[in-house]
Structure 1
Amino acid sequence: MYGKATLSLVFALLIVLLLISYSILMGTVNFRSYFLPLLQSPATAHPLCATNPPLRVYMYDLPRRFNVGMLNLRNLEQTPVTDRNWPSWPKNSGLKRQHSAEYWMMGSLLYEGDGAEERDAVRVSDPEMADIFFVPFFSSLSFNTHGHVMTDPETEIDHQLQIDLVKFLLQSKYWQQSGGGDHVIPMTHPNAFRFLREQVNASIQIVVDFGRHPRTMSNISKDVVAPYVHIVDSFTDDDSTDPFESRTTLLFFRGRTSRKDEGIVRVKLAKILAAYDDVHYERSVATDENIKVEIRLHPVACLMPL
Structure 2
Amino acid sequence: MTKSSSSLSSSSVNGPWSIYKLFFSISLICTLFMSSYLLFNKPVSAPTSILQNTLQDPGFTLKVFVSELPRSYNYGLLQEYWSLPPDNRIRFDPDHVPGLKQNNSNLEFPPYPKNPVTTQNSAEYWLLGDLMTPEHLRNGSIAKRVYDVKEADVVFVPFFSALSCEMQLSIDRRILPMKVMKNLDYKRQKEVIDIVTNSEAWKRSGGRDHIFALSNPMAMWHVKDEIAPAILLVVDFGGWVQIDAKASHGNSNEKIGHTQVSLIKDVIVPYNHLLPALQLSDNQPRHNLLFYKGAKHRQRGGVIRAKLWSMLEHEPGVVMEEGVADETGRQQSIKGMRDSEFCLHPAGDTPTSCRLFDAIQSLCIPVIVSDQIELPFEGIIDYSEFSVFVSSNDALQPKWLVTHLQNISKEQREEYRKNLARVQPMFEYDNGFPGGIGPIDPNGTVNQIWKKIYHKVPMIKEAVTRNRRKPPGTSIPLRCQCT
What is the deviation of 1:165?
Answer: 1.1
What is the deviation of 1:296?
Answer: 3.4
Tell me the secondary structure at the aligned position of residue 296 of structure 1: helix
| 8 Å Cα contact 2:74/2:158 also seen in 1 | yes
Q: Which residue does 1:90 correspond to in 2? A: 113
Separation of aligned partners in 2, 1:56 and 1:165: 22
What is the deviation of 1:190?
Answer: 1.9
| 8 Å Cα contact 2:295/2:323 also seen in 1 | yes
What is the deviation of 1:204?
Answer: 0.7
Q: Which residue does 2:273 correspond to in 1? A: 230
| 8 Å Cα contact 1:235/1:298 also seen in 2 | no
* Coordinate RMSD, CA, aligned: 3.5
**1:192 aligned to 2:219?**
yes
Q: Which residue does 1:287 correspond to in 2? A: 325
Change (3 A) 1:234 1:155: farther
| 8 Å Cα contact 2:117/2:325 also seen in 1 | no
Tell me the secondary structure at the aligned position of residue 112 of structure 2: coil
Change (3 A) 1:297 1:114: farther
What is the deviation of 1:218?
Answer: 2.1
Q: Which residue does 1:135 correspond to in 2? A: 157
What is the deviation of 1:217?
Answer: 3.0
**1:183 aligned to 2:205?**
no
Q: Deviations over 1:46-95 (max 9, x none)?
A: 9751236211111123222111222231779xxxxxxx94222233x221
Q: Deviations over 1:100-139 (max 9, x none)?
A: 1111111111122655145222211221110000001011
Aligned length: 248
Q: Which residue does 2:231 correspond to in 1? A: 204
In the TM superposition, 1:9-48 aligns within 5 A as 48=54
Q: Which residue does 2:75 correspond to in 1? A: 68
Candidates 68, 93, 111, aligned match of 2:133: 111
Amino acid at match of 1:230: H
| 8 Å Cα contact 2:116/2:325 also seen in 1 | no
Separation of aligned partners in 2, 1:119 and 1:171: 30
In the TM superposition, 1:250-269 aligns within 5 A as 252-263=291-302
Change (3 A) 1:155 1:221: farther
Amino acid at match of 2:80: L
Candidates 58, 62, 65, aligned match of 2:65: 58
Tell me the secondary structure at the aligned position of residue 242 of structure 1: helix
In proportion to residue count, which structure has more helix?
2
Change (3 A) 1:235 1:221: same
Q: Which residue does 2:184 correspond to in 1? A: 157
Please, which runs of 5 or more residues in structure 2 have no aligned partner?
Answer: 1-50, 84-106, 242-255, 346-353, 357-483
**1:220 aligned to 2:263?**
yes
| 8 Å Cα contact 1:133/1:184 also seen in 2 | yes
| 8 Å Cα contact 2:63/2:153 also seen in 1 | yes
What is the deviation of 1:290?
Answer: 2.5
Q: Which residue does 1:125 correspond to in 2? A: 147
What is the deviation of 1:254?
Answer: 0.6
What is the deviation of 1:207?
Answer: 0.8
What is the deviation of 1:242?
Answer: 3.3
Separation of aligned partners in 2, 1:113 and 1:276: 55
What is the deviation of 1:176?
Answer: 0.8
**TM-score, normalised on structure 1?**
0.68
Tell me the secondary structure at the aligned position of residue 212 of structure 2: strand
What is the deviation of 1:265?
Answer: 6.4
**TM-score, normalised on structure 2?**
0.45
Separation of aligned partners in 2, 1:206 and 1:118: 21
Amino acid at match of 2:109: W
Tell me the secondary structure at the aligned position of residue 293 of structure 1: helix
Tell me the secondary structure at the aligned position of residue 99 of structure 1: coil
Q: Deviations over 1:211-269 (max 9, x none)?
A: 24322332222211112111233357xxxx93224454576421135434343665797
Amino acid at match of 1:255: G
What is the deviation of 1:186?
Answer: 0.8
Change (3 A) 1:250 1:291: farther
Please, which runs of 5 or more residues in structure 1 have no aligned partner?
Answer: 1-44, 77-83
Separation of aligned partners in 2, 1:250 and 1:126: 55
Tell me the secondary structure at the aligned position of residue 167 of structure 2: helix
Q: Which residue does 2:193 correspond to in 1? A: 166
Separation of aligned partners in 2, 1:154 and 1:182: 29
Separation of aligned partners in 1, 2:226 and 2:332: 43
Change (3 A) 1:217 1:284: farther
Separation of aligned partners in 2, 1:264 and 1:181: 36
Separation of aligned partners in 2, 1:154 and 1:274: 49
What is the deviation of 1:293?
Answer: 0.6
Separation of aligned partners in 2, 1:188 and 1:255: 20
Amino acid at match of 2:67: Y
Q: Which residue does 1:28 correspond to in 2? A: none
